[in-house]
Amino acid sequence: MSVTASFSRRARWRLPEIVFWLLAFAALLLPPGKHLLLNEIAILALFALSLDLILGYAGIISLGHAAFFGTGAYAAGLFCKLVTPDPHTGLAVAIVVAAALGAATSLLVLRGSDLTRLMVTLAVALVLHEVANALPLWTGGADGLQGMTVGPLLGHFDFDLYGRTAYAYSLVTLFVLFLLARRIVHSPFGLSLMAIRRNPLRASALGVPNRSRLIAVYTLSAAYAGAAGALLAQTTAYVSLEVLDFQRSADVLLALIIGGTGWLYGGLAGAIAFKVLQDVLSASAPQFWMFWMGLFLVVLALVGRERLGQGVRGLLAKVMP
Amino acid sequence: MPSATLLGQALISGVLAGGLYGLLAMGLSLSWGLLRLVNLSHFALAFLSAYIVYELGSTFHVEPWWSAAMVVPLMFAIGAGQHWLFDRFKVNELASLLITFSFAVIVEVAIQLYWTADFRRYETEYATRSIKAGPFYIPVMELVLCIVAGLIAWGTWLWLRRTYVGKALRAAAEDAEIAAAYGVDHKKLAYLLSGIGAAYAGVAGTFIALIATLAPAQIWAYLGVVFAVVIIGRLGNPLGALIAGMLIGASESLAMAVLSPAWAPVVSFSVLIVILLWDPDWL
């Protein structure tokens, strides 16, 4: 079989994928009550997807991905307040602003070793957090950006209290951007990224322009994170300093790790698991949610995903022969 | 422009406050630089020590120095125990980040359960004492901290530089296999180093209990600054960590005096970003 055929086979749509998206859209028809949570899941999923683009495909670990999420959120919020309440242009503007920041900071991030990278991503996010805190005239500081009135979707669907419109908006955005990401990672560009991640030296020997490819994917990832931030700002009509918190960067990394990196659905699955568990566990005791999360991660990181999967399967086989 | 006295006082307070950054950074720098493990739980261990010192001091009226004598060996044991886990499961950098983050979260929850999320303040007679030198005030506790941090940094630096164990450690960090071929038992040494790193968290924790207000969420307050200090001071270099800590402390404090308090945290990261852009050869 030719190489082209094997790659195009990998890019083909499979049944579980189609079922997954049908279910996600079918959730719109659920009776009101869970759409706010679903909206949060869709936003976290998009955010995790953006992190997967750099971590899973290009091997760049980021401890400060909230920088782009927050930039997108503030850009969308300020654009809505100062220019026009139309959500679509707001989303586009947020994407452009976040991408610009991504392109600018990629030059910093690509310097130095893996560990320095880690530090730089963290530093960029913390600097933005402090800048947002120190400019209350623009961002509202610790009180948050208030007084956003987001216009109706497509001109006549208003954002309601139950969050159905919000979920529809976030889900469609997620789906469109997911399709794009799926196309990109299966393209020669995406394959070259994976080559860089596995062996940068060999990739550049084969003629892959490592640096410009990494800058491109970092910018793309920033744009996605900015879109996720804009969705949060527009669907909640509020932006607080929390959008730039370290906690947010940590959460998205955890969600992605739970779902697994490097297959795009990892971010989505992780976001669902993370938010649903958080919703269920924190209803009873908020501290214990973090405790179980921590314990689960220790086991996951120590034992490894494959061995954990095998262990569970082995256990199931013993219980149900 | 603020007066010369204010600037001088800001400089002194900044350098002294930076001593704590340096002390926290030292343990982190050792495990990061020599073991290639990023230990996010370092801060959690420091705060756990601080809470233990606080509890022993305010409930049982144990002098903080005696509490430190108990806490530091305990932390050494915890550090060595952590390393057993890392060694047993062959943990790499990313996984070490995750695992120690989770440790930190678990310790945070434990602290919250036992001491609640309220702010705690260890009331001692030492805390408020200060020396007056000319127009400036020097808080005694922070001066002691800086002296202790300086001694530890100097001692560790000499130990790594001059003794066989220190040289073996640095050799193993450079190339574990070749070092092993020359008879360096780097696994055993790694336990020692991991324990020492955690013991430094115990020392830092004792001082945190004495000079700061404690709250579980404070664990994360030092993360960014101390990471910056570790990088600026060069990985694995205790003296560098202390000097970088004082540099950052002084620049934060000066920014607070000249600009406004809100801008202080921006300073350390801006210094870091400038240094990374400048890209000196020691990075």
On whether residue B283 sits in a domain, the answer given is: no
CATH number at residue B271: 1.10.3470
Residue A306 sits in which domain range? Answer: 286-321
Structurally, chain A folds into a number of domains equal to 2
3-state helix, strand, coil in chain A (%, to 5): 80, 0, 20
Same domain, A62 and A206: yes
Q: Both A291 and A161 in a single domain?
A: no
Q: Which residues contact A214 (CB under 8 A, 6 or more apart)?
A: A58, A60, A106, A110, A193, A196
pLDDT tens-digit profile of B253-266?
A: 988 888 877 777 78
Q: Does the residue A244 lie in any domain? A: yes
Chain segment B151-182, per-residue pLDDT in tens: 999 999 999 989 988 888 888 888 888 888 88
DSSP A27-50: GGGSPTTSHHHHHHHHHHHHHHHH
Does A152 share its domain with A73? yes
Same domain, A144 and A212: yes
Nearest-Cα distance to chain A for B188, in Å, is 21
- B77 SS3 class: helix
Same domain, A278 and A294: no
The encoded tokens of residue B17 equal 């406050």
Contact A100, B243 (CB under 8 A): no
Residue A3 domain-assigned? no
Q: Are residues A140 and A225 in the same domain?
A: yes
For the CA atoms of A134, A135, A141, A147, what is the dihedral angle to 10 degrees? 180
- My answer on whether A189 and A306 are in the same domain is no
In chain B, which residue's Cα lies nearest the Cα of A55? B94
Number of H helices, E strands in chain B: 11, 2
Q: How far is CA A298 from the centre of its chain?
A: 22
Separation of alpha carbons A109 and A96, rounded Å:
19
Which long-range contacts (C-beta less than 8 Å, at least 24 apart) are formed by A287-292? A287/B109, A287/B112, A287/B113, A288/B109, A290/B105, A290/B108, A290/B109, A291/B105, A291/B106, A291/B109
Q: Is A10 within a domain?
A: no
Query: What does the pLDDT look like over A142-185, one tens digit per residue?
Result: 888 887 888 888 877 888 777 888 999 999 999 999 999 999 99
* Best residue in A298, A300, A306 for a mutation probing chain B (most B CBs within 10 Å): A298
Residues of B in contact with A137 (CB under 8 A): none
Is residue B57 in some structural domain? yes
CB A123 to CB B223 under 8 A? no
What local confidence, expressed as pLDDT, does residue A306 receive? 62
The set of residues, in sequence order, having a beta carbon less than 8 Å from that of A244 and lying 6+ positions away, is A66, A67, A69, A70, A125, A128, A129, A132
- Is the predicted ipTM greater than 0.90, yes or no? no
Q: Is residue B235, in this structure, part of any structural domain at all? A: yes
CA B212 to CA B121: how far, in whole Å?
7
Question: Would you write out chain A's pLDDT as a tens digit for each of its 321 residues?
Answer: 577 787 777 778 888 889 999 999 999 888 888 889 999 999 999 999 999 999 988 888 888 999 999 999 999 999 999 998 899 999 999 999 999 999 999 988 887 676 678 778 888 898 898 889 888 888 887 888 887 888 888 877 888 777 888 999 999 999 999 999 999 999 999 989 989 888 888 988 988 898 899 999 999 999 999 999 999 999 998 999 999 988 899 889 888 988 888 889 999 999 999 998 888 887 776 667 778 878 887 887 777 666 656 655 665 566 554
Q: Is residue B80 part of a domain?
A: yes
d(CA A262, CA B107): 31
What is the three-class DSSP state of B103? helix
Task: List C-alpha distances in Å: B281 to A27, A154, B275.
Answer: 56, 55, 11
Burial of A142 (0-12, 13-18, 19+ CB in 10 A): exposed
Q: Is residue A1 domain-resident?
A: no
Residues A291 and A201 in one domain: no
A–B CB contacts, 8 A cutoff, strictly below: 105
Chain B residues whose C-beta is within 8 A of a chain A C-beta are 32, 38, 85, 89, 91, 93-95, 97-99, 101-106, 108-109, 112-113, 220, 223-224, 227-228, 231, 235, 260, 262-263, 265-266, 269-270, 272-273, 276-277, 279, 283
Residue A8 lies in a domain: no
Domains identified in chain B, total number: 1
Please name the residue that has the structure tokens 């908006």. Answer: A169
Strands (E), chain B: 130-133, 136-139
**pLDDT at res. A321:** 46
In a domain, A4, yes or no: no
Residue B283 above 60 pLDDT? no
A276 & A129 share domain: yes
In whole angstroms, what is the distance from residue A297 CA to residue A311 CA? 16
Q: How far apart are CA B12 and CA B5, in angstroms?
A: 11
Best probe of the A interface among B101, B251, B270, by most A CBs < 10 A, is B101
Indicate whether A242 and A314 sit together in one domain.
no
User: Among all residues of chain A, which has the CA nearest to that of B262?
Assistant: A134
**Nearest to residue A249, comparing CAs of A97, A123, A90?**
A123
Question: Please, are residues B135 and B76 in contact by the beta-carbon 8 Å criterion?
Answer: no
pLDDT tens readout for residues B77-122: 999 999 998 888 877 777 788 888 888 988 988 998 898 888 888 8
A278 and A162 assigned to the same domain: yes
Residue A319 included in any domain: yes
Q: Distance, in angstroms, between A114 CA and closest chain B CA?
A: 9
In a domain, A214, yes or no: yes
- Supply the CATH number for residue A250's domain: 1.10.3470
Q: Do B228 and A123 touch (CB under 8 A)?
A: yes
Question: Which residues touch A119 (CB under 8 Å, ≥6 apart)?
Answer: A63, B227, B228, B231, B272
Contact A130 B276 (CB under 8 A): no
Residue A184 and residue A41 share a domain: yes
Whether A302 sits inside 8 A of B235 (CB atoms) is: no
